[in-house]
């Protein structure tokens, strides 16, 4: 597996020289860079040649403006499309990536199975931020405005340590709130009442948007199977422990983690059968209530995926430069238990994603060969 070091101009810096140093281990050579994009040199020590620019060209002016912004890689997509997998795969190939969660349920501590948080062993040692960090008992709900603040601070901290922040999650309202330069918490750009149109110069960061997409038919089948897998992994037991009979279980009383898909569906089951032993006809009714909760979870997950894709399309129509990566065939292979899943993922998802990220990190310089 090839590893890529981040070029120095990936981050804003006041440093004025570029000094590559090499450390080799067998056939693998990793390159580490000191930070500057002002007077860069290539690996042979000669000065890099800047692309010819005309300062009167608006697109070039925007490019220069973007160069001064903190770089942010954004991996977006509907629930269950492999965003977490892709982020870790990229982080293990490109040096110095750190991941920031932008899933509005996964920011809370607890219900790790129900909210489908990536497990510690799956993170491959890659630092993750805002993943299970917020105690849901100490606050009502994290708003997009609050996420903008805390995620913005996290990005600044990551960049200050010469790392690249990678925003990963399916909550498009959080993504929008974070990356736009001017955010109005009183407007909903996804309800159609206000314009979502935005140019790169109106973004808070120099962003690269990777959209991981899966055809809805394939994704729906996969999401149904995923719910079954989550139940096999202990989702029901996790929800039973989380259930509090003293809480307000009405939709109006739900905030934060209690909005997670799975909680309201099984709350209706627990209201009737929590802590009760039933036999005969009531046991049959209990099983039917359980199956109804599972069906509702699957249907609500499908509807969530459709809404998320709809929001992504609205952002693209508004001018966001989304680089779409199609993971459909990889997920089709999962559904058919094909042993070629990893091979297809590598070829159709990883390879194009690596090319996009490399361009994002190298788009300001034209190197001498």
> Confidence class of residue 28 from pLDDT cuts 50, 70 and 90?
very low
pLDDT reported for residue 139:
65
The domain spans of the chain are 68-218+305-366
Please identify, in words, the CATH class of the domain defined by 68-218+305-366: alpha beta
> Contact, 211 vs 322, CB < 8 A?
yes
Own/partner long-range contacts of 192-197 (Cβ < 8 Å, ≥24 apart):
195/318, 196/314, 196/315, 196/317, 196/318, 197/318, 197/319
Calculate ∠ Cα 135-137-142, nearest 5°: 60
Cα torsion 52, 57, 61, 63: sign: negative
Element (H, E) at 266: helix 263-273
Task: Inform me whether the pLDDT recorded for 219 exceeds 80.
Answer: yes
Report how far Cα 321 is from the mean position of its chain's Cα atoms.
16
Name the H helices within 13-134: 58-67, 83-91
Distance separating the N- and C-terminal Cα atoms of the chain? 24
Residue 199: predicted pLDDT: 58
How far apart are the C-alpha atoms of 348 and 268, rounded to whole Å? Answer: 42
pLDDT band at residue 345 under the 50/70/90 scheme: very high
What lies within 8 Å, CB to CB, of 186 at 6+ separation is none
pLDDT recorded at residue 368: 24
Confidence of residue 67 (pLDDT cuts 50, 70, 90): low
- Residue-wise pLDDT for 265-283, tens only, equals 999 999 988 766 655 567 7
Q: What SS3 class is residue 73?
A: strand
Q: What is the pLDDT of residues 244-271, one digit of tens each?
A: 988 877 776 788 999 999 999 999 999 9
> In Å, what is the CA distance from 35 to each residue of 39, 158, 194?
10, 14, 40
Q: What is the pTM of this model?
A: 0.80
């Amino acid at each position: 597996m090839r590893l890529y070091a981040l070029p120095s101009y990936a981050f804003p810096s006041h440093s004025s020289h570029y000094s590559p140093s090499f450390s080799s281990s067998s056939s693998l050579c990793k390159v580490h860079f000191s930070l500057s994009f002002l007077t860069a040199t290539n690996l042979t020590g000669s000065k890099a040649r800047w692309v010819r620019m005309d300062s009167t060209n608006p697109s070039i002016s925007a490019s220069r403006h973007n160069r001064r912004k903190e770089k942010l890689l954004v991996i977006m997509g509907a629930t269950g499309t492999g965003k977490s997998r892709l982020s870790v795969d990229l982080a293990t190939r490109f040096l110095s990536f750190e991941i920031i969660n932008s899933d509005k349920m996964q920011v809370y501590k607890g219900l790790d199975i129900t909210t489908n948080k990536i497990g510690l062993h799956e993170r491959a040692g890659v630092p993750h931020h805002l993943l299970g960090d917020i105690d849901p008992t100490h606050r009502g709900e994290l708003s997009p405005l609050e996420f903008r603040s805390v995620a913005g601070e996290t990005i600044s901290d990551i960049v200050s340590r010469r790392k690249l922040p990678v925003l990963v999650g399916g909550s498009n309202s959080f993504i929008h709130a974070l990356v736009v330069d001017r955010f109005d918490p009183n407007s909903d750009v996804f309800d159609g009442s206000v314009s979502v149109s935005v140019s790169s110069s109106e973004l808070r960061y120099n962003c690269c948007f990777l959209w991981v997409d899966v055809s809805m038919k394939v994704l729906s089948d996969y999401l149904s199977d995923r719910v079954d897998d989550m139940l096999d992994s202990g989702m029901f037991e996790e929800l039973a422990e989380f259930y509090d009979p003293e809480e307000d279980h009405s939709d109006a009383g739900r905030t934060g983690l209690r909005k997670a898909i799975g909680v309201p569906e099984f709350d209706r089951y627990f209201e009737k059968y929590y802590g009760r032993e039933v036999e005969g006809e009531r046991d049959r009714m209990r099983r039917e209530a359980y199956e109804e909760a599972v069906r509702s979870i699957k249907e609500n997950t499908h509807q969530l995926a459709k809404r998320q894709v709809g929001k992504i399309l609205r952002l693209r129509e508004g001018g966001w430069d989304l680089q779409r990566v199609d993971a459909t065939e990889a997920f089709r292979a999962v559904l058919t238990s094909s042993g070629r899943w990893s091979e297809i993922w590598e070829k159709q998802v990883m390879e194009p994603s690596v090319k996009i990220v490399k361009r994002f990190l190298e788009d300001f310089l034209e190197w001498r060969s």
